[in-house]
Amino acid sequence: MVSPGLDLELSFSQALQGFGFSPEVARLLWLPLPMLLVLVAAVVGVLVSVWLERKISAAVQQRIGPEYAGALGVLQPLADGLKLLVKEDIIPARADSLLFTLGPVLVVVPVIISWLIIPFGQNLLISNVGVGIFLWISFSSIQPIGLLMSGYASNNKYSLLGGLRAAAQSISYEIPLALAVLAIVMMSNSLSTVDIVGQQTGAGILSWNIWRQPVGFLIFWICALAECERLPFDLPEAEEELVAGYQTEYAGMKFALFYLAGYINLVLSAVLVSVLYLGGWGFPIPVEWLAGWLNQPIDAPVVQVITGTVGIVMTVLKAYLLVFVAILLRWTTPRVRIDQLLDLGWKFLLPLSLVNLLVTAALKLAFPVAFGG
């Protein structure tokens, strides 16, 4: 059906073999490259979102925001990062130094690993593992352990409370989140992110999952915001109650890791929403149709490069649209109370997502054509 598209690994491996390397060595040399690329992409993504956050919040509050570091202040996040990097690394005297250090690491590593499965095109992802989206769900469940760890190790009651709140929140919203994803998986008959996007490519924007799963989309988005601890769900670090929650005692690079994890997670969630509900790398009008109208063969190199570029641009564009929405939400909505938060998760979203799952299953049985029979 869909053309294989760009296969960078194959080209790279062939190029290296041309230089006389064995296929195994070529693969070994290839392996770190996409990882590095994704790491860089994730960090750049964070810098962009931090800048966006600052600018948009300023716009919402009718300020100007950062403007001196670079044009329109684009270098401001870089300056922030540099500041955190060179700050003194403080470990409180009565804290548990080992767990105190390990906590932020455990928070940031699973988020970065989850980038494994983000597709930017048919072959533009690090690893098309069969468990696909399930990998992200299970790795995001490790995060609460890191939060509990840093909350406990700080030896500070605000930190502990923040850590407990974060873990409770994370567990509560993971279930509806997973159920929303399950409805999607049921339609695409696969856990793989590539297959999930592939199932949405038939008719451009009309075949996106958001039309078939509007409720699932809302559930997923709400839960993703809660998992990222964004307002209106940022109780774990609610300044007015808990100083800064589990981050209270952290400074310097360790604090930066939390900061980084938060934003990487936000971008990751946004990308996943676009993958699951907004057609991933797909252009609103299928590229194949465009190529057909322009009388270009779909496997011509130029078309392939254009398709790949369009895929990356579309994914990033959709993701940043969602990041924009998240930032607007943060600066316009008030925070909920902890009991309201848990009620929303357990008494509303969980039953709703179960119903959504059952309705999807029923629709799949009734209309196999439209719901991936």
Q: Could you say which of 47, 148, 273, 327 contacts another protein (CB under 8 A)?
A: 148
Instruction: Based on the shown chain and the rule CB under 8 A, indicate whether residue 363 belongs to the binding site for another protein.
Output: no
CB of 141 to another protein, least distance (A): 2
138 binds another protein (CB under 8 A): yes
145 binds another protein (CB under 8 A): yes
Decide: helix, strand or coil at residue 217. Answer: helix
How far is residue 367 from each of residues 63, 359, 373, measured CA to CA in Å? 52, 12, 7
The beta-strand segments (E) located in the chain are none
Angle between helical axes of 8-18 and 23-30 (0-180°, round to 10): 130
99 lies in the binding site for another protein (CB under 8 A):
yes
Whichever of 232 and 345 has its CB closer to another protein, that residue is 345
Told to check if 66 binds another protein by CB under 8 A, we report no
CA 350, CA 175: separation in Å to the nearest integer? Answer: 7
Q: Which one of 34-42, 58-66, 159-167, 326-334 is the stretch in contact with another protein (CB under 8 A)?
A: 159-167
d(CA 159, CA 154): 6
Question: Cα(31)–Cα(37) distance, rounded to whole angstroms?
Answer: 11
Q: Exactly one of 112, 137, 187, 276 binds another protein (CB under 8 A); which one?
A: 137
* Residues 287-316 as x/- pattern, contact with another protein by CB under 8 A: ------------------------------
- Does 130 bind another protein (CB under 8 A)? Our answer is yes
- Whole-angstrom distance, CA of residue 279 vs CA of residue 193: 11
What is the spatial distance between Cα 93 and Cα 354, in angstroms, rounded to a whole number? 47
The number of beta carbons lying within 10 Å of the beta carbon of residue 109 is 16
Query: In whole angstroms, what is the distance from residue 174 CA to residue 171 CA?
Result: 5
Choices 24-32, 220-228, 266-274, 310-318; region in contact with another protein by CB under 8 A: 24-32
CA–CA separation, 121 vs 9, rounded Å? Answer: 13
Closer of 148 and 357 to another protein (Cβ) = 148
Closest alpha carbon to 269 in 329, 212, 332: 329
> For residues 164 and 272, which CB has a smaller minimum distance to another protein in the complex?
164
149 binds another protein, rule: CB under 8 A: yes
Residue 105 engages another protein in binding (rule: CB under 8 A): no
- Cβ atoms 136, 181 nearer than 8 A: no
Does 346 participate in binding another protein (rule CB under 8 A)?
no
Among 47, 118, 135, 316, binds another protein (CB under 8 A): 135
Residue 354 DSSP SS3: helix
Count of residues that interact with another protein, criterion CB under 8 A? 29
Mark the segment that binds another protein (CB under 8 A) among 68-76, 137-145, 264-272, 350-358: 137-145
95 closest CA partner among 156, 34, 143 = 156
Tokens representing 368 are 């196999």
CB nearer another protein, residue 50 or residue 182: 182
Asked if residue 351 binds another protein (CB under 8 A), the reply is no
- The structure tokens listed for 8 are 């960078």
Q: Between 246 and 283, whose beta carbon lies closer to another protein?
A: 246
Is residue 160 near another protein by the rule CB under 8 A? yes
Chain contacts with another protein (rule: CB under 8 A): 24-25, 28, 99, 129-131, 134-135, 137-142, 144-145, 148-149, 151-152, 160, 163-164, 167-168, 171, 174, 191
